[in-house]
Amino acid sequence: MTVIPSGNLQTTTPAKNYGTNILRWGAIAFVVIFCLAPVMWQVLTSFKVNQDIAAVPTIYFPGRITLNHYIELFNRRPFWRYIFNSAFVSIVSTAFSLALGAPAAYALARLRPWGGRVILAGILIVTLFPGILLFLGLLEIIQRLHLGNNYLSLIIPYTAINLPLTILVLRSFFEQLPKDLEDAARVDGYNTLQMLVQILLPMTIPALVTTGILTFIFAWNEFIFALTFITREEMKTIPVGAAQLGGASGFEIPYGPIAAATIVGTLPLVVLVLFFQRKIIQGLSAGAVKG
């Protein structure tokens, strides 16, 4: 019988784990700071007085706090109108994307239409195209249909661009639902539309929320189409209005109001994501794990 001395049981594992944790948390802190630094810079700039913004060397943390940039933002421009325009266009285009994408995704997932694989391949190819490549064609269509300075000139392109992604995401969710539910619904007398609206869509709420937020963010932040198709001041969206902020003279760059406009335009998206964060996590995790 061999006796192992008790003094040899001590190992250096706790020390190694401690060092590994320090490195891990240090890396996490670096990534967080690196990603949030531009956001924090804009937040701090929006509260700085003009002297601190223009100071050399740079003043990173304001010694004097002011709200004049936010007040100036809403006094000099109809920024409340910009917010309404962005919200209206984003909400309507998101609703259209989900309303059109959900039935199309269900048809591709369950009804197996003729040429479904070709249709799916076409949708996948369309998602690979940058939206800017559609610019000249859309501009020609907008001119021919006389849709300039009309909300439809933004709603229709946003819906068309977001629709392929919506179909692909929702299709994967419909394929994961058990077919027994649909068979039972048909036995109870449900038609396809009733079954989709009353049974299947409530079960795919995480997917609807996830795709809806993605399409909403795209429409809210889009700049090129909104800059070109809308020229009337009262119909501009937040990105265009923020980009066209001017100073007291042609040689002045209003860094403070621009920073304030950036914060005002970003805050609704932050609130939206925080409010639906559980549904977003459920949607992403459910779409990543099959079965």
Q: Report pLDDT digits (tens) over 31-64.
A: 988 988 888 988 999 898 888 888 888 888 888 8
Return the pLDDT at 283. 64
102-114: average pLDDT: 84
Residue 48: beta bridge partners? 65
Query: Residue 250 — pLDDT band, cuts 50, 70, 90?
Result: low
* Between 97 and 109, the higher pLDDT residue: 97
Q: Please determine, for residue 10, whether its predicted confidence score (pLDDT) is greater than 70.
A: no
C-beta contacts of 259-264 below 8 A and 24+ residues apart: 259/42, 259/43, 259/45, 259/46, 259/69, 260/46, 260/69, 260/70, 260/72, 260/73, 261/73, 261/79, 262/42, 262/46, 263/42, 263/43, 263/46, 264/70, 264/73, 264/79, 264/83, 264/238
169-188: average pLDDT: 83
% of the chain surpassing 90 pLDDT: 23
Q: Which residue type, as a one-letter code, is found at position 146?
A: H
156-164: average pLDDT: 91
Structure token pair of residue 180: 């027994």
Return the pLDDT at 5. 52
Q: Which CATH number fits domain 76-288: 3.40.50.300, 3.20.20.120, 1.10.3720.10, 3.30.360.10?
A: 1.10.3720.10
Q: Please determine, for residue 291, whether its predicted confidence score (pLDDT) is greater than 50.
A: no
Residue among 217, 219, 209 at smallest CA distance from 278: 209
* Between 100 and 3, the higher pLDDT residue: 100
Chain centroid to Cα 79, Å, comes to 21
Return the pLDDT at 289. 47
Structure token pair of residue 64: 């004097």
Residue among 93, 104, 114 at smallest CA distance from 196: 104
Q: Please determine, for residue 273, whether its predicted confidence score (pLDDT) is greater than 70.
A: yes
Secondary structure percentages of the chain, helix, strand, coil, to 5: 75, 0, 25
d(CA 264, CA 69): 11
Kind plus residue range of the DSSP H or E element containing 19 = helix 13-46
- Of 12-16, 42-46, 95-99, 125-129, highest mean pLDDT: 95-99
233-248: average pLDDT: 84
Domain residue spans of the chain: 15-66, 76-288
| Rg for the chain, CA atoms, rounded | 26
* Cβ proximity of 228 and 140 under 8 Å: no
* Cβ proximity of 207 and 170 under 8 Å: yes
Residue among 279, 153, 271 at smallest CA distance from 210: 279
The Cα-based distances of 169 to 113, 206, 215, 289 in angstroms read 18, 11, 12, 13
The count of C-alpha atoms lying within 13 angstroms of the C-alpha of 62, restricted to the half-sphere facing its C-beta, is 20
